[in-house]
Amino acid sequence: MIKAVYTEKAPQAIGPYSQAIKAGDFLFLSGQIPVNPETNEVVENDIVVQTRQVMRNIQAILEKEGLTFENIVKTTIFVKDLSMFATVNEEYGKFLGDHRPARSTVEISRLPKDVLIEIEAIAYTGNR
């Protein structure tokens, strides 16, 4: 079974895609950018503030499905400047605690709405 997942606690899609798709025992989260869902605006142009907002957006989507960061098995982080990696790593880690999913990090020249970071994730929904 495949179903689209939507929550008002995360930004609305800005194109023809879903916030997440549940397929079998997995939840595939679309890349989340640092948009505050209450204002529908990009947050401050600061990598710490933007990383925190992205992680809160991911958390909202996970919670919609009764999941936590512990369910994440893989993330991909896209950053505009890899020199920000240590800061991103620190903020990302605060949300994950001791959980360590597989991850890739890629520097990219431009992201939607000219943000500094985007993160996509895959979560395992089985064994709940």
Least confident of 10-14, 22-26, 70-74, 108-112: 10-14
Phi, psi dihedral angles at 67 (to 5 degrees) = -110, 170
The rounded distance, in Å, linking the Cα atoms of 80 and 114 is 9
Q: Which two tokens stand for residue 110?
A: 């431009």
Count: domains in the chain: 1
**pLDDT tens-digit profile of 79-124?**
999 999 999 999 999 999 999 999 999 999 999 999 999 999 999 9
What's the pLDDT band for 127 if we cut at 50, 70, 90? low
Could you tell me which of 20, 49, 50 has the C-alpha nearest to residue 34? 50
User: Is the pLDDT reported for residue 126 higher than 90?
Assistant: no
CATH code: domain of residue 54 = 3.30.1330.40
Query: Domain span at residue 72?
Result: 2-124
